[in-house]
Structure 1
Amino acid sequence: MSDKRKQGELESQIMGCLWDRPDGLSSQQILALMGDDQLAITTVLTVLSRLGDKGMVFREKLTGRTFVFKSVKSREEHTAAMLLGAFDQSANPALVFSHFASGLSPAQIASLKKALN
């Protein structure tokens, strides 16, 4: 992995680990899944703390000093919240919906119609 990450990239990677394992992971397990020999456990813990401050992650105490970290929302719930936030930022939500819909594949349109019914 490169020495410099884009802003939010590490958060996204950690969230990906948590979304893939909804039963939760310890910080050591997250570090192992990341597969970056240069990434320190303290960095992972700092990012987990920041994700907790943002309300995206919570930690559950197991035994002793062991904690398991879990995502507050599923990947799909998080993505939906981001989409809704993007629509809310527009002065013309109908136009945003129009542009959004024009980028959907036929299968995605069918899925959207099914969800709306």
Structure 2
Amino acid sequence: MKIWKFKINESGLNRFFGPLEAKIMDILWCHDEMTIKDVQQSLEREKPMNFNTVMTVMNRLVEKGVLQKRTEGRSYVYRPVQSRMEFLNAQSKEMTNELMDEFGNVVVSHMLDALEEADDDLVAKLENKIKELKKGM
């Protein structure tokens, strides 16, 4: 699944989703499966939330491919298509590939500059990955 908008000026899940979408995804990633009513009640701990608003947003998330829904009795039960880590991994990989395709050397240069602030474990992983890639050539 590909998220079409990435908001640089936002943080966390709000980079990929609208504010209410991000809250709903956060709730579902913590609880795995929930009905609209369950999600609405979780959201209402912060502020009152209209059932129809929650339903509309959750159905949009189904259309975007990040949630699945199934019928259980007279209700729909929603669940994330991917775990939070799977989602973030897929999105970061997609963004990295798109940046590499479009900007190539500039992106690599900026990534290398960012390594100056990275922890030693990350640098070691990168070194190992480069060694693996060289062996395969």
Equivalent position SS for 1:89: helix
Which structure features the higher share of helix residues?
A: 2
TM-score normalised by the chain length of structure 2: 0.66
Q: Deviations over 1:62-85 (max 9, x none)?
A: 11x111100000000111112112
Q: CA deviation at 1:87?
A: 0.9
- Which entry has the higher C-alpha Rg, 1 or 2? 2
Instruction: Return the alpha-carbon distance in structure 2 between the equivalents of residues 98 and 73 of structure 1.
Output: 30
Unaligned ranges ≥5, structure 2: 1-13, 133-137
Which of these residues, 112, 127, 130, is aligned with residue 98 of structure 1?
112
Q: CA deviation at 1:106?
A: 4.2
Greater Cα shift, 28-37 or 43-52: 28-37
Tell me: higher relative CO, structure 1 or 2? Use CA pairs within 8 A at least 6 residues apart.
1
Q: CA deviation at 1:100?
A: 5.1
- Residue 30 of structure 2 corresponds to which residue in structure 1? 20
Equivalent residue runs for 1:30-109 within 5 Å? 30-34=39-43, 35-63=45-73, 65-90=74-99, 91-92=103-104, 93-99=107-113, 101-106=115-120, 109=122
Report the aligned-residue RMSD: 2.7
Runs of 4+ with >3 A deviation: 99-107
Aligned length: 108
- Residue 4 of structure 2 corresponds to which residue in structure 1? none
- Residue 3 of structure 1 corresponds to which residue in structure 2? none
Q: Which amino acid aligns with 1:98?
A: L
TM-score normalised by the chain length of structure 1: 0.76
Unaligned ranges ≥5, structure 1: 1-5
Change (3 A) 1:101 1:75: farther
- Identical positions, percent: 22
Q: CA deviation at 1:97?
A: 3.5
